[in-house]
Chain A
Amino acid sequence: AQTVTQSQPEMSVQEAETVTLSCTYDTSESDYYLFWYKQPPSRQMILVIRQEAYKQQNATENRFSVNFQKAAKSFSLKISDSQLGDAAMYFCAYRMLLSNFGNEKLTFGTGTRLTIIP
């Protein structure tokens, strides 16, 4: 079974600095997707960034980038120039294809709570 592990329950960073959140996963598949979701206090799940496993290039979205190491099954999120609005729970997720109709489920890690220090 696929598992997703986030080993840092909490992280903090000074405003304007850079922080990296870790995620590792276990899978026997060769083609899959990985995601980082942000959950602010409002509870809304917001997609931050996604990575296709077949792409060697790391995904980037403005201040957010990933370090995808397929062989090591590692998928870390780097946030540059941290802002107060980045404070949230961050979940790493793995997309697993289900058996019927090509449907899918997301397997989530337990999350990392990020605090931004002014």
Chain B
Amino acid sequence: NAGVTQTPKFQVLKTGQSMTLQCAQDMNHNSMYWYRQDPGMGLRLIYYSASEGTTDKGEVPNGYNVSRLNKREFSLRLESAAPSQTSVYFCASRGATHNEQFFGPGTRLTVL
């Protein structure tokens, strides 16, 4: 069991560039989440997906889009990156019988 995996681990973008952060889980979980973590703050929810085919906005969705490709994969896309999106991004998943979310290792994104 790899748990929750994220690619890439690090990325540097220029303002205006686009990119997709990939997340996959092998625990057969229904729910998946994208968070961002900024210095001095806890994690904040960007988008979530309660099941395959559904996505919903979280606390800070502006500037992002997501795709729940299948039960395993949940991607986060930045269409036109801005310096304010410099952050560490975490993907998480949760199964129906679990009370906790399982986190991936994170992606450190820098937008210049």
Contact = CB atoms under 8 A, between A and B. Distances in A.
Nearest to A107: B42
Interface residues of A, number: 25
Interface of B: 31, 33, 40-45, 48, 50-51, 54, 56, 58-59, 88, 90, 92, 94, 99-101, 103, 105-106, 108
Nearest to B96: A102
Given A45-B92, A101-B50, A109-B42, 4 more contacts: A91-B43, A103-B31, A103-B48, A108-B43
A47 B106 contact: no
29 contacts: A33-B99, A35-B100, A42-B105, A43-B88, A43-B105, A43-B106, A45-B43, A45-B103, A45-B106, A47-B100, A50-B99, A91-B42, A95-B99, A98-B48, A100-B56, A101-B50, A101-B51, A103-B31, A103-B48, A103-B50, A104-B31, A105-B33, A105-B45, A105-B58, A106-B43, A108-B41, A108-B42, A108-B43, A110-B42
A103 B101 CA distance: 11
Contact of B106 (A44, A93, A105, A106): A44
